[in-house]
């Protein structure tokens, strides 16, 4: 199943709850929440109190993407704030196995992300254990960047691995996705589409519906 995950990083924070409701009512299944610590990535975004507050605005799945160093320190806090899926970066964890175990022990889905410059081999050992692989298609840290098409090879390799092993798992792609590059992204095998600026720039409800239409 194809899933749209609008990234709130590009939303209007002054009316964040309403912005989330707009895309959820238009059919977005996930709400993508980018947490940045200013260390793993150059920028700082928002954390637990904001997530806890906007959690009340919708029943949609909260897909929390932790761009933070050693996220294992905060798994329980993000689950208590309302995360349904927690993604950690392969580049940010000393012990990925332990981090995945901790996420699952909290009763939520576990995902692992890789940055554009990280070789796909770094995520392969964890594919069996995780619920979703996230392939970054921009350098993490900011919304509105240009899509890096080379990362589609990683999506193809991961999708082949899942197909060859009869695993119907999710592959999420994040960064620079728009109406023009969406077809090649789906064709490569990604099925969870994160889109920030392409959703929230202009009419968020109409953009959400257009994405979902193209993803059918
Ligand atoms: O994690 C990130 C950026 O670090 C992304 O989730 C972006 O927020 C997606 O926004 P667009 O590239 O679609 O504007």
Residue ranges of domains in the chain, CATH in brackets? 3-215 (3.20.20.70)
Sequence ranges of the binding site for substrate = 7, 65, 141-144, 174-176, 196-197
What confidence tens digit (pLDDT) does each residue in 71-106 have?
999 999 999 999 999 999 999 999 999 999 999 999
Average of pLDDT values for 194-200?
98
- Which pLDDT band holds residue 133 (cuts at 50, 70, 90)? very high
- Residue % of the chain over a pLDDT of 90: 100
Q: Check pocket membership of 45 for ligand 1, CB cut-off 6 A.
A: no
Q: What is the ipTM of this complex?
A: 0.97
Give tens-digit pLDDT for 26-51. 999 999 999 999 999 999 999 999 99
Residue whose CA is closest, atom 5 of ligand 1? 175
| Per-residue pLDDT tens digits for 147-195 | 999 999 999 999 999 999 999 999 999 999 999 999 999 999 999 999 9
Residue list for the binding site for a divalent metal cation: 32, 34, 65, 174
Q: What is the mean pLDDT of the chain?
A: 98
The confidence score (pLDDT) of residue 98 equals: 98
Active site residues: 34, 174
pTM for this entry: 0.98
Q: How far apart are CA 121 and CA 102, in angstroms?
A: 23
Longest pairwise C-alpha distance within the chain: 46
Locate the ligand 1 atom nearest the alpha carbon of residue 9 and give its number: 8
Query: How far apart are the CA of 126 and the centre of ligand 1, in A?
Result: 24
Q: SS3 of 173, please? A: strand
- Strand 192-195 vs strand 170-174: parallel, antiparallel, or unpaired? parallel
User: Residue 5 forms beta bridges with which residues?
Assistant: 194
Give dist(CA 174, CA 93) in Å, integer.
19
* Residue 6 CB less than 6 A away from ligand 1: no
Rounded CA-CA distance 134/120 in Å is: 11
Confidence of residue 198 (pLDDT cuts 50, 70, 90): very high
pLDDT at res. 109? 98
User: For residue 208, what are its two tokens?
Assistant: 């959400």
For residues 164 and 159, give the distance between their C-alpha atoms in angstroms, rounded to a whole number. Answer: 9
**Best substitution site from 30, 34, 211 to test ligand 1's pocket, by max atoms within 8 Å of Cβ?**
34
Nearest Cα neighbor of 151 from 126, 172, 168 is 172
- SS3 for 108? coil
Residue-wise pLDDT for 48-80, tens only, equals 999 999 999 999 999 999 999 999 999 999 999
Which structure tokens are listed for 189? 């095998």
pLDDT of residue 190: 98
**Cα–Cα distance, 130 to 126 (Å, whole number):** 6
Q: Ligand 1 pocket, 43 CB below 6 A?
A: no
Question: If you measure from the C-alpha of residue 164 to the centroid of ligand 1, how many angstroms do you get, rounded to a whole number?
Answer: 30
């Amino acid at each position: 199943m194809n899933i749209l995950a609008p990234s709130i990083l590009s939303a209007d924070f002054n009316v964040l709850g309403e912005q989330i409701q707009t895309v959820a009512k238009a059919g977005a299944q996930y709400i993508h929440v980018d947490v940045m610590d200013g260390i793993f990535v150059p920028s700082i975004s928002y954390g637990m109190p904001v997530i806890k507050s906007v959690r009340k605005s919708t029943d949609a799945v909260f897909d929390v993407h932790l761009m933070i160093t050693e996220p294992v320190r905060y798994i329980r806090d993000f689950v208590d704030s309302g995360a349904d899926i927690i993604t950690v970066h392969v580049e940010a964890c000393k012990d990925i196995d332990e981090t995945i175990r901790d996420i699952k022990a909290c009763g939520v889905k576990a995902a692992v992300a890789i940055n554009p410059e990280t070789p796909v081999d770094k995520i392969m050992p964890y594919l069996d254990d995780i619920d979703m692989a996230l392939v970054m298609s921009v350098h993490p840290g900011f919304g509105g960047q240009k899509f890096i098409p080379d990362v589609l090879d990683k999506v193809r390799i991961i999708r082949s691995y899942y197909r060859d092993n009869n695993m119907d798992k999710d592959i999420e792609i994040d960064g620079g996705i728009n109406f023009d590059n969406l077809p090649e992204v789906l064709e490569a095998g990604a099925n969870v589409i994160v889109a920030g600026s392409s959703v929230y720039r202009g009419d968020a409800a109409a953009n959400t519906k257009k994405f979902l239409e193209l993803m059918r």
